[in-house]
Structure 1
């Protein structure tokens, strides 16, 4: 009987086989080879040992499904520093989904960021194709840069250009549903904590000027969904989807004398931070303030709260992007697609105090 982690005689071993033998995800195995993710030394050694056992030398630029002369590398451009990206479970899920699909052409991942100090890497890195994570406020700059190189592109969310296939998410509709839930509970004074809006990712009050200058499609769509129900809602824009950013935003909004009775956060990590700020101020959730998130991920330390949130299929979005990349590399037309979120009513929302 042939072990599933052992290639057949004469067959070239694959990254997926290495990942199985090492007991890690495809994305972790890929990043262990590329050196662009926060993979521990112990994990990297385990992956390399598995590769040695299977006689796997890394992504093969001569793989049959890649054109001759290609690098065998698919780039993923994210909006924050690599270490920060790996603090976000949504980003990890997207990478796992992409890795699952590009394993079919035995390609590896290269993680890049669109921060100014790494722009040259985006221009020069050896890549056959690129997945752009569209919640970045600098998405248009990355698209222009990569187009000059003639590299096939796929965007996860965002609105990069008509000729760039996009993997969409119902951000506006989903957030409108969450906002309507709060409205139906009786809330009228609602604030919004957003993902980065300005290109410099500066945090601060959500002003009309910041909204007009937003470069982030994801954050803008989610903001529009909340304002479909609460058109006058103010709020706070953050530097990224981190618990600490949510805590800072929550402290600023809930310290006001006329604090909101509910807060819509554009990620579950931000929502967890808002809840932490409420607790630090001696407020009860949901008794004094209701909190809604977006993503549907597990956040460490959130118990006993069951966050009211929108659950998005992040792994499936990554797989759809990976399939589009494989299609383009093999000369087929990619198929853009869009995903819907499921509303999860938890125990962090309730009617406001009379």
Structure 2
């Protein structure tokens, strides 16, 4: 046997079969007798051979067997969001026909380490990490697509790598998995208006990569660069044009709690309802209301967005918009699979379902 890692040829020689027969045992692409399979596996075990070198297989296929995934936010915050976790499960299922794995990537703008998971890190270069420009991937899934990804995205397209975007716009020719964010948020706002609410505050997801927190001035002309934030903001303003806006640093209960303390602390101008752009933010607002001795919904109504189960939230059941997170991920994986196979792939749109819970009611008398 040659020095170094044992090869399939070494296994074939010890098992006294041809290299092609030994290869078939590991690939499963053709049938062999049970006796032959047992002899090959026994020979492999004796040599310490664990299977074909995936790098060699990738070279033969002309592909890496990897689909890159890029988030708008720091991974520490992304994976504390149940919606993102469920969506990733769906994505993994969607690419399973390819036998591909998922690789989490940064874009070339980079995000600094985020020790508390809040997503508040500053942009900085991180040259040592695999990037959207350089990673050996067969396709890329963008979870959102802000302007800071534009340059890196052009480099990816220049390499001829298929790209699909979940809830974002990467330009013409790139298929999208879309959610009716504006109409869904409009539905929640209409629900509050039908109950009689007028003094309403909108608690948004992050406006930009810096993830600053605080009140958005009425004359602030900035437009959120994050597609989801922008669309849900527009939906609320369709019903409440003068709605007051407070920006959170991420979709986390702690972010909602901190924001809720600020929003509800002014007894002279306290809103009768808060529209939160995620269920986690909404749960934090409810906790803030409890801290201040307020009753939900008698003193303040709260709506969320996502339709997740918030642990330890009983006896509350959020009034929210339920989105099909797993289906979104699965659809992105299906689009990627079709593109890699050279087939046409169209954008797909999903619709949220309004679910009324016990966190909304008429404004206080």
Q: Check conservation: 2:26, 2:51, Cα contact below 8 A.
A: no
The verdict on how the C-alpha distance between 1:139 and 1:236 changes in structure 2, with shifts beyond 3 A counting, is: farther
Counterpart contact for 1:135–1:218, Cα < 8 Å = no
Tell me which residue corresponds to 2:271. Answer: 260
The partner residue of 1:311 within 322, 331, 334 is: 322
Q: Aligned in 2, Cα 1:273/1:233: closer, same or farther, shift over 3 Å?
A: same
Alpha carbons of structure 1 residues 212 and 68: separation in structure 2 relative to 1, 3 Å:
same
276, 285, 299: which one aligns with 1:288: 299
Would the aligned equivalents of 2:257 and 2:288 in 1 still touch at CA under 8 Å? yes
CA distance in 2, matches of 1:246, 1:62: 48
Distance in 1 (CA, whole Å) between partners of 2:219 and 2:212 is 13
Distance in 1 separating the partners of 2:167 and 2:56: 29
Match of 1:76 among 69, 77, 84: 69
Asked if the contact 1:211/1:220 (under 8 Å) is kept, the reply is: no
1:90 aligns with 2:77: no
The answer for the alignment partner of 1:99 in structure 2 is 92
CA 1:13–1:244 in structure 2 vs 1: closer, same or farther (change >3 Å)?
Answer: farther
Counterpart in the other structure of 2:32: none
- Report the CA distance between 1:149 and its aligned residue: 3.9
1:234 alignment counterpart: 244
**Candidates 105, 108, 118, aligned match of 1:112:** 105
Q: How many residues are aligned here?
A: 304
Give the drift of 1:335: 1.9
Residues 1:187 and 1:71: Cα distance change in structure 2 (over 3 Å)? same
2:177, 2:339 → 1: CA distance? 14
Secondary structure, aligned partner of 1:122: coil
Cα RMSD (Å): 2.5
Going from structure 1 to structure 2, the CA distance change for 1:347 and 1:167 (only over 3 Å counts) comes to same
| In 1, Cα distance between equivalents of 2:143 and 2:293 | 37
Q: SS at 2:269's partner residue?
A: coil
For the 8 Å contact 1:60–1:107, the answer to whether it is kept is: no
Normalised TM-score (structure 2): 0.77
Shift of 1:122: 2.2
Contact 2:145–2:170 (CA under 8 A) maintained in structure 1: no
Match of residue 183 from structure 2 = 173
- Displacement of 1:90 in angstroms is 0.6
Which secondary structure state, in structure 2, belongs to the residue aligned with residue 74 of structure 1? strand
* 2:349 equivalent in structure 1: 338
Provide structure 1 residue ranges, at least 5 long, that are not aligned to the other structure. Answer: 1-8, 15-54
1:206 match = 216
Structure 2: give runs of 5+ residues left out of the alignment: 1-23, 30-49, 112-122
TM score, norm. by length of structure 1:
0.79
**CA separation in 1, counterparts of 2:221 and 2:229?**
10
- Matches of 1:59 and 1:82 in 2, distance apart? 27
Q: 2:137 aligns with which of 110, 113, 127?
A: 127
Pair 1:315–1:137, CA change in 2 (3 A)? farther
CA distance in 1 between partners of 2:332 and 2:180 (Å): 16
What is the rounded CA distance, in whole Å, between the counterparts of 2:351 and 2:137 in structure 1? Answer: 30
Q: 1:181 to 1:80 in 2, by over 3 A?
A: same
Distance 1:145 1:279, change over 3 A: farther
Does the 8 Å CA contact 1:59/1:107 hold for their aligned counterparts? Answer: no
- Contact persistence 2:145–2:169 (CA under 8 A): no
Q: What do the CA deviations read for 1:47-89 (whole angstroms, capped 9, x no partner)? A: xxxxxxxx677978847xx983221110111122222211100
